[in-house]
Structure 1
Amino acid sequence: MLIQAAADFHGKESRYRTFFQGLHVHNPDVAVIAGDIEPDGLFFKFLDKVDIPVLIVHGNMDSISIGKEIERYENAIFLHEKMYTIDGTNFVGAGGSNPSLDEIYSLSGKKRISLKDARIDVFVTHVPPKGVMDRMSLGFHIGSEWVKKMDKEPRLVICGHVHENPGYAAHGTTIVVNCSVGRRGKYSLININKEIEVNMVE
Protein backbone atom coordinates (compact mmCIF):
# COMPACT_ATOMS: atom_id res chain seq x y z
CA MET A 1 0.00 0.00 0.00
CA LEU A 2 1.33 3.41 -0.99
CA ILE A 3 0.48 6.36 1.27
CA GLN A 4 1.11 10.00 0.38
CA ALA A 5 1.21 12.14 3.52
CA ALA A 6 1.78 15.74 4.57
CA ALA A 7 1.08 18.07 7.48
CA ASP A 8 1.30 21.77 8.29
CA PHE A 9 -0.03 23.41 5.13
CA HIS A 10 -1.00 26.42 7.30
CA GLY A 11 -3.28 27.83 4.64
CA LYS A 12 -0.58 28.19 1.97
CA GLU A 13 -2.09 27.51 -1.44
CA SER A 14 1.24 26.47 -2.95
CA ARG A 15 1.45 23.63 -0.42
CA TYR A 16 -2.11 22.46 -1.18
CA ARG A 17 -1.43 22.54 -4.88
CA THR A 18 1.85 20.64 -4.63
CA PHE A 19 0.30 17.94 -2.44
CA PHE A 20 -2.77 17.35 -4.58
CA GLN A 21 -0.78 17.43 -7.82
CA GLY A 22 1.47 14.78 -6.32
CA LEU A 23 -1.49 12.43 -6.09
CA HIS A 24 -1.69 12.40 -9.90
CA VAL A 25 2.05 11.77 -10.21
CA HIS A 26 2.40 8.91 -7.72
CA ASN A 27 -1.09 7.34 -7.73
CA PRO A 28 -1.08 6.38 -4.03
CA ASP A 29 -3.74 4.11 -2.55
CA VAL A 30 -4.55 6.59 0.20
CA ALA A 31 -3.66 10.17 1.15
CA VAL A 32 -3.10 11.30 4.74
CA ILE A 33 -3.13 14.89 6.03
CA ALA A 34 -1.91 15.14 9.62
CA GLY A 35 -3.24 18.49 10.75
CA ASP A 36 -2.60 22.24 10.71
CA ILE A 37 -4.34 22.59 7.39
CA GLU A 38 -6.03 25.96 8.01
CA PRO A 39 -8.11 25.23 4.91
CA ASP A 40 -9.62 27.72 2.52
CA GLY A 41 -11.84 27.38 -0.52
CA LEU A 42 -9.03 26.20 -2.78
CA PHE A 43 -8.19 23.34 -0.43
CA PHE A 44 -11.77 22.10 -0.62
CA LYS A 45 -11.84 22.48 -4.42
CA PHE A 46 -8.82 20.18 -4.60
CA LEU A 47 -10.35 17.79 -2.08
CA ASP A 48 -13.54 17.59 -4.14
CA LYS A 49 -11.62 16.18 -7.12
CA VAL A 50 -9.77 13.39 -5.29
CA ASP A 51 -10.86 9.85 -6.13
CA ILE A 52 -8.96 7.96 -3.40
CA PRO A 53 -9.54 7.98 0.38
CA VAL A 54 -8.10 11.08 2.06
CA LEU A 55 -7.71 10.56 5.82
CA ILE A 56 -7.47 13.80 7.80
CA VAL A 57 -6.95 14.83 11.42
CA HIS A 58 -6.97 18.39 12.71
CA GLY A 59 -3.94 20.11 14.22
CA ASN A 60 -3.50 22.61 17.02
CA MET A 61 -4.18 25.45 14.56
CA ASP A 62 -7.40 23.89 13.24
CA SER A 63 -10.80 23.87 14.87
CA ILE A 64 -12.25 20.42 15.38
CA SER A 65 -15.29 21.77 13.55
CA ILE A 66 -13.43 21.40 10.23
CA GLY A 67 -14.41 17.75 10.45
CA LYS A 68 -17.99 18.57 9.45
CA GLU A 69 -16.80 20.45 6.38
CA ILE A 70 -14.31 17.73 5.42
CA GLU A 71 -16.90 14.97 5.57
CA ARG A 72 -19.10 16.73 3.03
CA TYR A 73 -16.69 15.41 0.40
CA GLU A 74 -17.18 11.90 -0.90
CA ASN A 75 -13.69 10.49 -0.44
CA ALA A 76 -12.63 12.52 2.60
CA ILE A 77 -12.60 10.89 6.04
CA PHE A 78 -12.16 12.96 9.19
CA LEU A 79 -10.20 10.30 11.08
CA HIS A 80 -10.22 11.92 14.53
CA GLU A 81 -11.56 9.39 17.05
CA LYS A 82 -12.21 6.82 14.32
CA MET A 83 -10.85 3.64 12.83
CA TYR A 84 -10.88 3.25 9.05
CA THR A 85 -9.80 0.07 7.28
CA ILE A 86 -8.36 0.01 3.76
CA ASP A 87 -7.42 -3.35 2.22
CA GLY A 88 -7.01 -4.89 5.66
CA THR A 89 -4.86 -2.04 7.03
CA ASN A 90 -6.35 -0.31 10.09
CA PHE A 91 -5.88 3.46 10.37
CA VAL A 92 -6.75 5.22 13.64
CA GLY A 93 -6.64 8.99 14.16
CA ALA A 94 -6.32 11.43 17.04
CA GLY A 95 -6.06 15.09 16.12
CA GLY A 96 -5.46 18.24 18.13
CA SER A 97 -2.46 19.43 20.07
CA ASN A 98 -1.58 16.72 22.57
CA PRO A 99 -3.72 13.58 22.74
CA SER A 100 -3.31 11.54 25.90
CA LEU A 101 -3.42 7.79 26.18
CA ASP A 102 -6.69 8.01 28.13
CA GLU A 103 -8.24 10.09 25.35
CA ILE A 104 -7.09 7.62 22.71
CA TYR A 105 -8.51 4.64 24.57
CA SER A 106 -11.74 6.53 25.28
CA LEU A 107 -12.43 6.50 21.56
CA SER A 108 -13.70 2.96 21.99
CA GLY A 109 -16.67 4.21 23.99
CA LYS A 110 -17.41 7.07 21.63
CA LYS A 111 -17.14 5.17 18.37
CA ARG A 112 -17.91 1.57 19.38
CA ILE A 113 -14.43 0.29 18.61
CA SER A 114 -12.03 -1.21 21.10
CA LEU A 115 -8.61 0.27 20.56
CA LYS A 116 -7.19 -1.72 23.44
CA ASP A 117 -7.94 -4.93 21.57
CA ALA A 118 -7.72 -3.70 17.99
CA ARG A 119 -4.76 -4.10 15.69
CA ILE A 120 -3.65 -0.56 14.90
CA ASP A 121 -1.47 -0.59 11.80
CA VAL A 122 -1.24 3.14 11.17
CA PHE A 123 -1.77 5.83 13.78
CA VAL A 124 -2.36 9.34 12.41
CA THR A 125 -1.84 12.17 14.86
CA HIS A 126 -0.74 15.77 14.62
CA VAL A 127 1.87 15.67 17.39
CA PRO A 128 4.88 13.28 17.25
CA PRO A 129 5.72 10.92 20.09
CA LYS A 130 8.02 12.38 22.73
CA GLY A 131 11.66 12.13 21.72
CA VAL A 132 11.05 10.92 18.15
CA MET A 133 11.02 13.39 15.24
CA ASP A 134 9.93 16.15 17.63
CA ARG A 135 13.04 18.28 18.13
CA MET A 136 12.68 22.03 17.75
CA SER A 137 15.47 24.29 16.54
CA LEU A 138 16.40 25.19 20.15
CA GLY A 139 16.84 21.51 20.96
CA PHE A 140 13.65 20.98 22.95
CA HIS A 141 11.56 17.84 22.38
CA ILE A 142 7.89 18.81 22.28
CA GLY A 143 6.18 15.53 21.41
CA SER A 144 3.56 13.59 23.33
CA GLU A 145 4.18 10.69 25.70
CA TRP A 146 1.25 8.61 24.47
CA VAL A 147 2.98 6.35 21.93
CA LYS A 148 5.48 5.11 24.51
CA LYS A 149 2.62 3.91 26.72
CA MET A 150 0.55 2.06 24.14
CA ASP A 151 0.01 -1.62 24.89
CA LYS A 152 0.30 -2.53 21.22
CA GLU A 153 2.68 -0.49 19.11
CA PRO A 154 1.35 0.50 15.68
CA ARG A 155 3.52 -0.38 12.71
CA LEU A 156 3.49 3.23 11.55
CA VAL A 157 2.85 6.65 13.07
CA ILE A 158 2.19 9.57 10.71
CA CYS A 159 2.48 12.99 12.33
CA GLY A 160 3.61 16.58 11.79
CA HIS A 161 3.57 19.69 14.02
CA VAL A 162 7.35 20.09 14.44
CA HIS A 163 8.34 21.95 11.28
CA GLU A 164 12.05 21.75 12.06
CA ASN A 165 12.20 17.96 12.22
CA PRO A 166 10.64 16.33 9.14
CA GLY A 167 11.84 12.83 8.40
CA TYR A 168 11.45 9.38 9.86
CA ALA A 169 12.91 7.15 12.55
CA ALA A 170 12.25 3.86 14.31
CA HIS A 171 10.82 3.77 17.82
CA GLY A 172 10.83 0.16 18.93
CA THR A 173 8.96 -1.72 16.23
CA THR A 174 7.17 1.45 15.07
CA ILE A 175 8.28 3.70 12.20
CA VAL A 176 7.49 7.34 12.95
CA VAL A 177 7.15 9.68 9.95
CA ASN A 178 7.02 13.42 10.57
CA CYS A 179 5.57 14.52 7.24
CA SER A 180 5.56 18.26 8.03
CA VAL A 181 5.99 20.62 5.08
CA GLY A 182 6.02 23.67 7.34
CA ARG A 183 9.64 24.52 6.54
CA ARG A 184 10.63 22.37 3.57
CA GLY A 185 9.57 19.42 1.48
CA LYS A 186 6.51 18.58 -0.58
CA TYR A 187 5.13 15.39 1.01
CA SER A 188 6.15 11.94 2.17
CA LEU A 189 5.64 8.69 0.27
CA ILE A 190 5.28 5.67 2.52
CA ASN A 191 5.13 2.13 1.16
CA ILE A 192 3.70 -0.17 3.82
CA ASN A 193 3.88 -3.87 3.00
CA LYS A 194 5.95 -6.52 4.79
CA GLU A 195 8.51 -3.75 5.24
CA ILE A 196 7.94 0.01 5.47
CA GLU A 197 9.82 2.25 3.05
CA VAL A 198 9.75 6.05 3.32
CA ASN A 199 10.68 8.68 0.74
CA MET A 200 10.69 12.32 1.86
CA VAL A 201 9.95 14.18 -1.38
CA GLU A 202 11.78 17.50 -1.50
Structure 2
Amino acid sequence: MKILAMGDIHGQCQNIFNYLQKNQVDLIILTGDITHFGPNKLGEDILNEICAFNIPTLAIPGNCDQTCIYGEIENSNAINIHNKTLIIKNIGICGFGGSNITPFDTPLEFAEVQIYHELEKLMKQIEDQPIRILVTHAPPYDTKADILPSGEHVGSESVLKIIEEFQPSLNICGHIHEAKIIDKIGNTIIVNPGESSKGFASIIEINEEDNNIEINPYLINL
Protein backbone atom coordinates (compact mmCIF):
# COMPACT_ATOMS: atom_id res chain seq x y z
CA MET A 1 0.00 0.00 0.00
CA LYS A 2 1.22 3.48 -0.88
CA ILE A 3 -0.09 6.26 1.37
CA LEU A 4 0.15 9.99 0.72
CA ALA A 5 0.18 11.73 4.11
CA MET A 6 -0.38 15.47 4.32
CA GLY A 7 -1.23 18.04 6.94
CA ASP A 8 -1.62 21.76 7.44
CA ILE A 9 -3.25 22.56 4.13
CA HIS A 10 -4.54 25.88 5.47
CA GLY A 11 -6.79 26.32 2.44
CA GLN A 12 -3.92 26.18 -0.07
CA CYS A 13 -4.27 23.00 -2.10
CA GLN A 14 -3.28 23.60 -5.73
CA ASN A 15 0.05 21.81 -5.23
CA ILE A 16 -1.88 18.78 -3.95
CA PHE A 17 -4.01 18.71 -7.08
CA ASN A 18 -0.92 19.06 -9.27
CA TYR A 19 0.72 16.10 -7.52
CA LEU A 20 -2.34 13.86 -7.76
CA GLN A 21 -2.69 14.57 -11.47
CA LYS A 22 0.74 13.02 -12.05
CA ASN A 23 1.09 10.40 -9.31
CA GLN A 24 -0.89 7.41 -8.14
CA VAL A 25 -1.33 6.41 -4.49
CA ASP A 26 -3.65 3.94 -2.77
CA LEU A 27 -4.74 6.04 0.19
CA ILE A 28 -4.60 9.68 1.31
CA ILE A 29 -4.42 10.63 4.99
CA LEU A 30 -4.94 14.26 6.04
CA THR A 31 -3.79 15.26 9.50
CA GLY A 32 -5.78 18.46 9.98
CA ASP A 33 -5.75 22.22 9.49
CA ILE A 34 -7.63 21.73 6.25
CA THR A 35 -8.61 25.41 6.43
CA HIS A 36 -7.15 28.48 8.08
CA PHE A 37 -9.99 29.38 10.47
CA GLY A 38 -12.60 28.83 7.77
CA PRO A 39 -14.55 30.12 5.99
CA ASN A 40 -17.46 27.74 6.45
CA LYS A 41 -17.84 25.14 3.69
CA LEU A 42 -14.23 25.54 2.49
CA GLY A 43 -13.15 22.33 4.22
CA GLU A 44 -15.90 20.34 2.53
CA ASP A 45 -15.03 21.84 -0.86
CA ILE A 46 -11.32 21.05 -0.49
CA LEU A 47 -12.01 17.49 0.60
CA ASN A 48 -14.36 16.89 -2.31
CA GLU A 49 -11.79 18.23 -4.77
CA ILE A 50 -9.20 15.84 -3.36
CA CYS A 51 -11.68 12.96 -3.40
CA ALA A 52 -12.44 13.69 -7.07
CA PHE A 53 -9.20 11.83 -7.85
CA ASN A 54 -11.02 8.65 -6.71
CA ILE A 55 -8.50 7.80 -4.01
CA PRO A 56 -9.87 6.87 -0.57
CA THR A 57 -9.22 9.85 1.70
CA LEU A 58 -9.18 9.86 5.50
CA ALA A 59 -9.26 13.14 7.41
CA ILE A 60 -9.15 14.64 10.87
CA PRO A 61 -9.51 18.33 11.82
CA GLY A 62 -6.73 20.56 13.07
CA ASN A 63 -6.76 23.22 15.75
CA CYS A 64 -7.06 25.97 13.10
CA ASP A 65 -10.25 24.50 11.65
CA GLN A 66 -13.54 25.91 12.91
CA THR A 67 -15.83 23.60 14.87
CA CYS A 68 -18.08 23.30 11.80
CA ILE A 69 -15.29 21.22 10.21
CA TYR A 70 -16.74 18.10 11.86
CA GLY A 71 -19.87 18.41 9.76
CA GLU A 72 -17.91 19.42 6.68
CA ILE A 73 -15.82 16.25 6.82
CA GLU A 74 -18.94 14.15 7.38
CA ASN A 75 -20.73 15.83 4.47
CA SER A 76 -17.78 15.44 2.12
CA ASN A 77 -16.66 12.36 0.23
CA ALA A 78 -13.76 11.89 2.64
CA ILE A 79 -13.91 9.53 5.62
CA ASN A 80 -13.89 11.22 9.01
CA ILE A 81 -11.60 9.34 11.41
CA HIS A 82 -11.63 11.90 14.22
CA ASN A 83 -12.25 9.94 17.42
CA LYS A 84 -13.02 6.88 15.29
CA THR A 85 -11.37 3.68 14.12
CA LEU A 86 -11.23 2.08 10.71
CA ILE A 87 -9.84 -1.25 9.53
CA ILE A 88 -8.55 -1.65 5.97
CA LYS A 89 -7.53 -5.25 5.35
CA ASN A 90 -5.14 -5.86 8.26
CA ILE A 91 -4.40 -2.20 8.96
CA GLY A 92 -6.12 -0.64 11.97
CA ILE A 93 -6.35 3.15 11.80
CA CYS A 94 -7.55 5.57 14.45
CA GLY A 95 -7.53 9.34 14.53
CA PHE A 96 -7.83 12.29 16.86
CA GLY A 97 -7.77 15.87 15.57
CA GLY A 98 -7.30 19.26 17.11
CA SER A 99 -4.38 19.92 19.42
CA ASN A 100 -3.37 20.12 23.02
CA ILE A 101 -3.84 23.54 24.61
CA THR A 102 -1.92 26.35 22.89
CA PRO A 103 -1.30 30.00 23.92
CA PHE A 104 -3.41 31.13 20.96
CA ASP A 105 -6.88 29.87 21.95
CA THR A 106 -7.52 28.27 18.56
CA PRO A 107 -10.91 26.70 17.82
CA LEU A 108 -10.13 23.02 18.38
CA GLU A 109 -8.00 22.46 21.47
CA PHE A 110 -8.34 19.67 24.02
CA ALA A 111 -7.07 19.09 27.53
CA GLU A 112 -4.39 16.42 27.76
CA VAL A 113 -6.60 14.24 29.96
CA GLN A 114 -9.27 14.14 27.25
CA ILE A 115 -6.74 13.37 24.50
CA TYR A 116 -5.37 10.47 26.52
CA HIS A 117 -8.79 9.11 27.47
CA GLU A 118 -10.10 9.11 23.90
CA LEU A 119 -6.92 7.74 22.34
CA GLU A 120 -6.72 4.94 24.88
CA LYS A 121 -10.20 3.77 23.88
CA LEU A 122 -9.38 3.99 20.19
CA MET A 123 -6.08 2.14 20.44
CA LYS A 124 -7.73 -0.72 22.31
CA GLN A 125 -10.20 -1.11 19.46
CA ILE A 126 -7.42 -1.80 16.93
CA GLU A 127 -4.85 -3.51 19.16
CA ASP A 128 -5.32 -6.89 17.45
CA GLN A 129 -4.40 -5.59 13.99
CA PRO A 130 -0.91 -6.46 12.67
CA ILE A 131 -0.43 -2.87 11.46
CA ARG A 132 -1.75 0.03 13.53
CA ILE A 133 -1.70 3.64 12.39
CA LEU A 134 -2.37 6.46 14.84
CA VAL A 135 -3.33 9.69 13.07
CA THR A 136 -3.13 12.85 15.18
CA HIS A 137 -2.88 16.52 14.44
CA ALA A 138 -0.74 17.13 17.49
CA PRO A 139 2.69 15.48 17.45
CA PRO A 140 4.02 13.58 20.44
CA TYR A 141 5.79 15.74 23.01
CA ASP A 142 9.59 15.96 23.24
CA THR A 143 10.38 14.52 19.83
CA LYS A 144 11.85 15.90 16.62
CA ALA A 145 8.27 16.22 15.33
CA ASP A 146 7.13 18.83 17.88
CA ILE A 147 10.08 21.18 18.15
CA LEU A 148 9.90 24.89 17.33
CA PRO A 149 12.85 26.82 15.87
CA SER A 150 13.39 28.21 19.38
CA GLY A 151 14.07 24.69 20.61
CA GLU A 152 10.84 24.49 22.62
CA HIS A 153 8.83 21.28 22.51
CA VAL A 154 5.09 21.94 22.22
CA GLY A 155 3.52 18.59 21.30
CA SER A 156 1.05 16.53 23.26
CA GLU A 157 2.21 14.65 26.32
CA SER A 158 -0.83 12.38 25.98
CA VAL A 159 0.02 11.41 22.40
CA LEU A 160 3.53 10.58 23.62
CA LYS A 161 2.17 8.48 26.49
CA ILE A 162 -0.22 6.58 24.22
CA ILE A 163 2.60 5.79 21.79
CA GLU A 164 4.84 4.59 24.61
CA GLU A 165 2.09 2.38 26.03
CA PHE A 166 0.58 0.93 22.83
CA GLN A 167 3.50 1.15 20.39
CA PRO A 168 1.47 1.57 17.18
CA SER A 169 3.32 0.84 13.97
CA LEU A 170 3.07 4.44 12.83
CA ASN A 171 2.03 7.88 14.05
CA ILE A 172 1.22 10.42 11.36
CA CYS A 173 0.92 13.93 12.80
CA GLY A 174 1.29 17.59 11.85
CA HIS A 175 0.64 20.93 13.59
CA ILE A 176 4.27 22.07 13.90
CA HIS A 177 5.09 23.28 10.40
CA GLU A 178 8.81 23.64 10.97
CA ALA A 179 9.22 20.11 12.31
CA LYS A 180 8.82 18.06 9.14
CA ILE A 181 10.68 14.93 10.10
CA ILE A 182 10.69 11.17 10.44
CA ASP A 183 11.42 10.12 14.02
CA LYS A 184 10.94 7.07 16.19
CA ILE A 185 9.64 6.25 19.69
CA GLY A 186 10.51 2.66 20.51
CA ASN A 187 9.10 0.63 17.63
CA THR A 188 6.75 3.41 16.49
CA ILE A 189 7.67 5.44 13.42
CA ILE A 190 6.69 9.12 13.74
CA VAL A 191 6.02 11.10 10.56
CA ASN A 192 5.35 14.83 10.48
CA PRO A 193 4.95 15.51 6.74
CA GLY A 194 5.34 19.27 7.12
CA GLU A 195 3.10 22.03 5.81
CA SER A 196 1.43 20.90 2.60
CA SER A 197 0.44 24.50 1.81
CA LYS A 198 4.18 25.05 1.31
CA GLY A 199 4.53 21.92 -0.81
CA PHE A 200 5.58 19.33 1.75
CA ALA A 201 4.14 15.85 2.27
CA SER A 202 5.14 12.26 2.93
CA ILE A 203 4.83 8.95 1.14
CA ILE A 204 4.50 5.88 3.34
CA GLU A 205 4.92 2.49 1.69
CA ILE A 206 3.65 -0.56 3.55
CA ASN A 207 4.89 -3.90 2.20
CA GLU A 208 4.04 -7.36 3.46
CA GLU A 209 5.85 -10.50 2.37
CA ASP A 210 5.89 -13.86 4.16
CA ASN A 211 4.40 -12.32 7.31
CA ASN A 212 7.18 -9.72 7.32
CA ILE A 213 5.89 -6.15 7.49
CA GLU A 214 8.00 -3.25 6.22
CA ILE A 215 6.96 0.38 6.64
CA ASN A 216 9.04 2.81 4.61
CA PRO A 217 8.20 6.51 5.00
CA TYR A 218 9.95 9.35 3.20
CA LEU A 219 9.38 13.07 2.87
CA ILE A 220 8.54 14.58 -0.51
CA ASN A 221 7.95 17.90 -2.20
CA LEU A 222 4.57 18.08 -3.91
Q: TM-score range by the shorter chain?
A: 0.7 to 0.9
| Aligned amino acid, residue 33 of structure 1 | L
| Aligned amino acid, residue 118 of structure 1 | I
What is the deviation of 1:86? 1.4
**TM-score of the two chains, using structure 2 as the length reference:** 0.78
Aligned partner of 2:17 among 20, 23, 34: 20
Q: Pairwise mapping of residues 131-170 of structure 1 onto structure 2 (< 5 A)?
A: 131-132=142-143, 133-150=145-162, 151-170=165-184
1:92 maps to which residue? 94
What is the deviation of 1:128? 0.5
State yes or no: 1:60 paired with 2:63: yes
1:195 maps to which residue? 214
What is the deviation of 1:61? 0.3
| Partner SS, residue 177 of structure 1 | strand
State yes or no: 1:78 paired with 2:77: no
1:129 maps to which residue? 140
Aligned in 2, Cα 1:185/1:47: closer, same or farther, shift over 3 Å?
closer
2:2 maps to which residue? 2
Aligned in 2, Cα 1:184/1:21: closer, same or farther, shift over 3 Å?
closer
**Cα RMSD for the two superposed structures:** 2.4
What is the deviation of 1:117? 5.3
| Aligned amino acid, residue 185 of structure 2 | H
| Partner SS, residue 176 of structure 2 | coil
Aligned in 2, Cα 1:197/1:70: closer, same or farther, shift over 3 Å?
same
Aligned in 2, Cα 1:11/1:138: closer, same or farther, shift over 3 Å?
same
| Partner SS, residue 47 of structure 1 | helix
What is the deviation of 1:107? 6.5
Aligned partner of 1:175 among 189, 214, 217: 189
Q: For the Cα contact (< 8 Å) 2:15–2:199, is it kept in 1?
A: no
Unaligned runs of 5+ in 2: 101-109, 208-212
Aligned partner of 1:32 among 29, 53, 78: 29
| Structure 2 Cα separation of the partners of residues 106 and 183 of structure 1 | 29
* Further displaced range: 179-188 or 161-170: 179-188
| Aligned amino acid, residue 94 of structure 2 | V
Unaligned runs of 5+ in 1: none
- Tell me which protein shows more helix as a share of its residues: 2
Q: For the Cα contact (< 8 Å) 1:70–1:77, is it kept in 2?
A: yes
| Partner SS, residue 71 of structure 1 | helix
| Aligned amino acid, residue 79 of structure 1 | I
Q: Report the number of matched residues.
A: 194
| Structure 1 Cα separation of the partners of residues 68 and 201 of structure 2 | 25
What is the deviation of 1:147? 3.2
| Structure 2 Cα separation of the partners of residues 28 and 101 of structure 1 | 36
| Aligned amino acid, residue 139 of structure 1 | G
| Structure 2 Cα separation of the partners of residues 148 and 179 of structure 1 | 18
What is the deviation of 1:5? 1.0
| Structure 1 Cα separation of the partners of residues 197 and 71 of structure 2 | 28
